[in-house]
Amino acid sequence: MRLAGLQKLTLLDFPGQIACTVFTPGCNLRCPFCHNPDLVLPPLLSEEDLLPEETFFDFLQKRKGKLTGVAVTGGEPTLQPDLPRFLARIREMGFGVKLDTNGFRPQILKEIVNAGLVDYVAMDVKNCPGKYALTTGIPVKRAGELWNTVLESIFFLMERHVAYEFRTTVVGGLHTTDDILQLAQLLRGADQWFLQQYHPADDVVGDFLPNGGLGGFVGDVLSNAGSGDAMGDFSPNAGSNGVQGDPLPPSETGSEPGSVQGLYEPSVQMLEEMRREASVYVPSVRTRGI
C-alpha cells in the first residue's frame, strides 16, 4: 500500500471518532482547485516521501485505546490495488474506517462496502453533469461515460449499505446556484450533503497545468496516450511516459501559485442561498467550512 502522509489526530475528518488521517498518493482527476497537488501530480511526489506501511501500523498499534478510527483519503484511495487488504488490517486492529472517494471507481467502492471494510464513506460530487469535465479535468469527450460511473456510486451509497455523506466544494467561477439545484434534484433523499466553501491556497493543482487546468488538458494528453479501461487511463501511472501527471512549471502556465484565474472563494451569502434552494430537494443539506 502506497501511503503519502499521516495526520496523527483529527476530530473533524471522521464524524464521531477520534481519528488519524492517512493519505494515499495519486488521483484520477485534476480538479483545478485541489489543495493537494503533491498528492495528485506524480512528478511532485517522490518515492522517498512515501510513508512505509509498517511505520503507519506501528503508529496505529501505539494509539490503540486513544484513537478510535482511521480516515483514509487521497488523492484517490480506490486507485490503490491493495486497498481492501489495507482496510481489513486496520479493522482487525479494532479501528473504525472512513473512506474518502471521488466515486469514479464504483466497483471498488462496492467491493469494499459489501465486504464490511468501512464504516463511513464521504464521496465528492463535484458539480452538475454538464460541468464535470471543467471541474475535474476529465476529457470532455468522455464526460458522459465517466459521469455514469459517478452516478453508479451515488445510487449505490443512497441504497444505505453504509453511513455516508456527499460533499461538494463550491468554487466561485465553477458553481452557480443553478448547478447546485441540478445536483440537489439528483441527490434528492440523500442522508447527508455538505456544501463546502472553497478557500484559495498557495498551491492548487490548476497552478501546475496550462490554463489553470480549466482547458481540458488531461483530455488532450489522454487522446495521445492511448486508451484502457474507463479508469485505467486516469491511474497515477497512466501513460508510458507519465505524461498525464507531468505538471508544467507555474511560469509556463502564465499563472502564479494560488491564482488560477477566475476561481475565487464564494461568499457566505452565496453558499447560504445555494443551501436554501437545495434544501427544497435535500432537506439535510448543510454548509461546511464557513
Integer angstrom CA distances of residue 197 from 108, 208, 255, 279: 29, 22, 22, 17
Nearest distance, CB of residue 139 and ligand SF4, angstroms: 15
Select from 48, 29, 55 the least CA-distant residue to 244: 29
Nearer to ligand SF4, 69 or 236 (CB): 236
d(CA 9, CA 41): 26
Binding to ligand SF4, residues 133-192 (CB under 6 A): none
Which of the stretches 29-37, 139-147, 154-162, 245-253 binds ligand SF4 when contact is defined by CB under 6 A? 29-37
**In the set 5, 42, 69, 75, which binds ligand SF4 (CB under 6 A)?**
75
Nearer to ligand SF4, 31 or 190 (CB): 31
Q: Is 219 in the site for ligand SF4 (CB under 6 A)?
A: no
Question: What is the DSSP-derived secondary structure letter of residue 265?
Answer: P
Count the Cβ atoms, other than its own, within 10 Å of residue 39: 23
∠233-160-179 over CA atoms, to 5°?
Answer: 60
Q: Is 36 in the site for ligand SF4 (CB under 6 A)?
A: yes
**In the set 67, 205, 222, 263, which binds ligand SF4 (CB under 6 A)?**
205
Nearest distance, CB of residue 28 and ligand SF4, angstroms: 7
Which of the stretches 30-38, 110-118, 182-190, 208-216 binds ligand SF4 when contact is defined by CB under 6 A? 30-38
* Identity of the amino acid at 99: L
Q: Is 221 in the site for ligand SF4 (CB under 6 A)?
A: no
Q: Is 263 in the site for ligand SF4 (CB under 6 A)?
A: no
d(CA 186, CA 151): 9
d(CA 20, CA 6): 7
Q: Is 236 in the site for ligand SF4 (CB under 6 A)?
A: no
d(CA 244, CA 126): 21
Only one residue has cell 447546485, namely: 180
d(CA 223, CA 242): 14
Q: Is 34 in the site for ligand SF4 (CB under 6 A)?
A: yes
**In the set 19, 20, 22, 40, which binds ligand SF4 (CB under 6 A)?**
40
The contact set with ligand SF4 (CB under 6 A) reads 27, 29-31, 34, 36, 40, 74-76, 102, 205
